[in-house]
Structure 1
Amino acid sequence: MVNCILIDDEPLALQLLEGYIAKIPFMNLLGQFDSPMQAFTVLEKEQVDLIFLDIKMPDITGIDFYRSLTRKPQVIFTTAYSEYAINGFELKAMDYLLKPISFEKFMNACLRVNSFVELQAKKEAPQNDFFFINVSHKMHKIFIDDIVYLEGYKDYTKLHLKSSNNPLLVLHNLKYFEDMLDPQRFVRVHRSYIISLNKVTVASRKAVSIGNVEVPVSDNYREPFMTYIAQYLR
C-alpha cells in the first residue's frame, strides 16, 4: 500500500487525481490540499510514502516546498509547465507528469512507486540467511550466501552451490526463487538463469562469468542488469 497526499492549488486538478487514485487498489489517499503549508501536519504525523506535488503555486513553488522538508517522501511533480522538468529530476523525483495528465501515465507512475516502496520494505525487513527446501523428500538447509546461481528447467530449478560440486534439483520453477530471493543480491539475466551478484567476476552485455562458469545474458534482461552494474562503475 502506498500512502499518498495531493497538493495542488487547482480544484479541478485535485478532483481529477483523487478520482485516479480511487481506481488504483494499492494507493491510499491520506489527504488533499490546495496549499503546501496545509500539508505539514499530515507529513509530520502520518507515514506518507508519496506526494503528488504541483510546481507553480501562489505562495511557494512545489520545488521549494519539497526542498524545505526534513523527511522527504517520494515525490511526483505535476505541472502544466515543462520547463520545470530539470529541477524536478534534480530532486530525484519518481516522475514528472505534464498536465493534462492521462490515467495511463498516472497509473504507470504509481506502479513505479509501488515497486519502489515494496522493495524498500523488503530491504528493511529482517532477513534470514538460510531457508529449507524439499529435495527428494528430505529437507535441505540452504544458506543464501552459498548460492552461486540458479538454472531453470520448466517446473524444476537446479541450485548451484559453492559448497557442492553437484547441484540440487528442486521441484520449483525459477520464478519461485526470483520472488523469494533479495533482488539486491540475486538478478535474473536470462529466462533460465538467476545469478548471485556477489559471485560475479566478469560481466558484459552478452554473458556473466562466475568463476569458471559463463552464464548468458539475454535481450529481455540485459538493460536492467547493465543498469545495476553501472551503479558500481568507477
Structure 2
Amino acid sequence: MTINCIIIDDNSSALDLLEDFIRKVPYLNLVARCDGPGSAFPYFEKNVIDLVMLDIRMGELSATEFLKSLKRKPAVIFVTAHNDLALEGFEQDAIDYLLKPVPFHRFLAAVHKAYEHISYRKARAQPKKDDFLFIKTAHKIQKIFYSDILYLEGLKDYTRIHLVDSKKPFITLQSLKYFETRLPQDEFIRIHRSYIISLRKVDTVSRKAVLLGETELPCSEHYRNMLYAVIGEKL
C-alpha cells in the first residue's frame, strides 16, 4: 500500500528534513511540500491525501482550523518545536506528535503507526474482494487462487507465478508492476525489484532474505522498511 502524504511547515529546514526522511520510506509518496496551510488546499482538492505532517502553530492559519476545513480527513502527525502543545495535537486525533529536531527513528515509528491506521481504515471501506485472478498463459486463460500463490518473479516483460503445490510456474506476459497493483495489498508485498511474495507463506524474515518454505528469496534494502512495517502490524 502506498500512502500519499503532504508536509506543511513555515520553516524550510524542517521541510527539507521531512522530505529527506520520506524518501527513505518506500511506502510514502510525497505529493507536495507547502510553506503554509493556504498553499496546501489545492492538493487536497485534486488528490486523495492519506497523511499530513504539519506544525501546529503557523502564521496564516492554525493547524486546528486548517484540519477542520478539510472535507476528507487525513491521518495527522504533528511536527513542532513546542513540547507544551501535545494535548492540543492529540485533541485533533493525531496519530503522533513529533518534537523538533526529529530523529529518524521517531519519524519511522510515527509513520508506521500511520500506516497501520490507514491500512485498517481502507480495509474497512473496501467491499468484499474476489479471492482469485485470471491470467493469460500460452494458449489459454488460467484461473489462480490467491491462496495457491507462493511468490511472483518478474523477468523483464513477463512474470513467473510460482504456486505452492506445483513445480512448474505459470508464465504470463504481464509485468510484475501490473500484479503489484492487482493483487490484494494486505496479502502480497513486494520485497525486491524481481519478487512479490505471499505474506501467508512467509516462514522467516532475516535482514537480507525471506524464507517461504524451502524457497529463499532476497529482500532488498529499498523494500525492507515496508516489509518490517507490515510484519510489525501482526506482532
What is aligned with 2:47?
Answer: 26
CA–CA distance in 2 between the matches of 1:200 and 1:127? 22
Q: Report how many residues are paired.
A: 177
Identity of aligned residues (%): 40
Gaps of 5+ in 2: 5-35, 50-60, 101-112
Farther off after superposition, 77-86 or 213-222: 77-86
1:137/1:21 CA distance change after superposition, 3 Å: farther
What is aligned with 2:209?
Answer: 207
Note the 1:38-187 alignment, pairs <5 A: 48-50=72-74, 74-77=75-78, 81-85=82-86, 88=89, 93-94=94-95, 120-121=121-122, 124-187=126-189
**Aligned CA-pair RMSD:** 4.2
CA–CA distance in 2 between the matches of 1:189 and 1:136? 27
Shift of 1:93: 2.4
CA–CA distance in 2 between the matches of 1:21 and 1:115? 25
Q: Can you list the C-alpha shifts for 1:11-62, whole angstroms capped at 9, x where unaligned? A: xxxxx5243212441169xxxx98x79x99x9xxx97433xxxxxxxxxxxx
Q: Name which of 184, 188, 191 aligns with 1:189.
A: 191
Shift of 1:136: 1.2
Shift of 1:128: 0.1
**Given that residues 21 and 27 in structure 1 are in contact (C-alpha distance below 8 angstroms), is that contact kept between their aligned partners in structure 2?**
no
Farther off after superposition, 115-124 or 156-165: 115-124
1:89/1:177 CA distance change after superposition, 3 Å: farther
1:89/1:193 CA distance change after superposition, 3 Å: farther
Q: Can you list the C-alpha shifts for 1:152-190, whole angstroms capped at 9, x where unaligned? A: 101111100123221001111111111111221111111
Gaps of 5+ in 1: 3-15, 51-73, 100-111
Alignment TM-score, normalising by the size of structure 2: 0.59
1:229/1:23 CA distance change after superposition, 3 Å: closer
1:206/1:23 CA distance change after superposition, 3 Å: closer
Query: Which is greater in Rg?
Result: 1
What is aligned with 2:200?
Answer: 198
CA–CA distance in 2 between the matches of 1:179 and 1:196? 14
Matched, 1:17 2:19: no
1:114/1:216 CA distance change after superposition, 3 Å: closer
Q: Can you list the C-alpha shifts for 1:181-208, whole angstroms capped at 9, x where unaligned? A: 1221111111111110100111111111
